[in-house]
Structure 1
Amino acid sequence: MEKIQLGIVKEVCSADKSSSGLPRPLVETLILKEGYGIEQDKFAGGDLEKTVMIIGTHSYDMAKAHGMDLKPGSYGENILFDFDPHELDVTNRLKVGDAIIEITQKCTLCNHLSVFGAKLPKLIKNHRGLYCKIIKGGVITRGSVAYKISM
């Protein structure tokens, strides 16, 4: 397996069934389970192609440049990286902590983000986040190293 180090996890977020709205709450650990999703996440057991949402600090920097200082989790992500995962392609695989995820699709434009600013959805339309499926379960925490891998 070839590995290229991309960066680290800045924050991890997960919303349990009692949570609603944004930002998604920060948590200490994400436990990813193949064929299920993120343990205790309200979206687990749903669409397995969209089990994990990733984003980079670049998306937050874009908002900040326009006067919107958002907290991690505001985009609804599960994993916030210190690099821009939008530079990767659909089908690319990432080893994060001891889990492996595969990028399946770009997130669609979400008007829910307009609660942070009317211009935000269009401003970040190409950096809204990426959906991933879980290839190999594992644990991800703040500070976990992320690698692009090829099998």
Structure 2
Amino acid sequence: MVIGKVLGTFSAKEGDSGLPRPKVDSLKLFEGFGIEEDKFAGKNLEKTVMIVGQYSYDISSKEGIIIEVGSLGENILLDFNPHDYKVGTKFKIGEAVIKITENCTICNHLSVFGKKLPFIVKDCRGIYCTIVNSGVIKKDDSVELI
């Protein structure tokens, strides 16, 4: 069942620092490793991919904090709120399958965009996922609930 689509893909390479994460044309996900060329690949496999919904940017904007996409540290920006789904939920996106492992905790470094931002997005900053099946994900790919 298709529930949404990918609005953008982002990845930071070794040596990249800070936010926003750079926009990329596509992500190559590898089960048991992570995102190809991403600085977090091969580290914590339960937090290999971070997904964020456009909703998080919309509520920030309503509170007067306008930030560019990638600023919340996401790898994948979705047109729906992934926080509506529970840990263990699987999504097929493009060729890959990912599974929700945990909600992302609030980082104080988000306050560089506005002192209130960490509090505004505390319940919707993003969700960590692990890779279940390898594959490529790109903008406009559909997201299916498995």
Q: What is the TM-score with the length of structure 2 in the denominator?
A: 0.99
1:11 is aligned, of 8, 11, 18, to: 8
SS of residue paired to 1:35: coil
Q: 2:63 aligns to what?
A: 66
Q: Residue 99 of structure 1 aligns to which amino acid in structure 2?
A: A
Q: Residue 125 of structure 2 aligns to which amino acid in structure 1?
A: R
RMSD of Structure 2 on Structure 1 (CA): 0.5
2:136 is aligned, of 134, 139, 143, to: 139
| Alpha-carbon distance in structure 2 between the residues aligned to 1:71 and 1:6 | 24
Asked if residue 43 in structure 1 is aligned to residue 40 in structure 2, the reply is yes
1:101 is aligned, of 98, 102, 105, to: 98
Q: Residue 23 of structure 1 aligns to which amino acid in structure 2?
A: P
Q: 1:22 aligns to what?
A: 19
Please, which runs of 5 or more residues in structure 1 have no aligned partner? none
Deviation (angstroms), 1:53: 0.1
% same residue: 52
Please, which runs of 5 or more residues in structure 2 have no aligned partner? none
| Alpha-carbon distance in structure 1 between the residues aligned to 2:48 and 2:143 | 18
| Alpha-carbon distance in structure 1 between the residues aligned to 2:91 and 2:79 | 14
Deviation (angstroms), 1:18: 2.1
Following superposition of structure 1 onto structure 2, how do residues 125-136 of structure 1 map, counting pairs within 5 Å? 125-136=122-133
Count, aligned residues:
146
| Alpha-carbon distance in structure 2 between the residues aligned to 1:82 and 1:142 | 11
Question: Which of structure 1's runs of 4+ aligned residues deviate more than 3 A?
Answer: none
Q: What is the TM-score with the length of structure 1 in the denominator?
A: 0.96
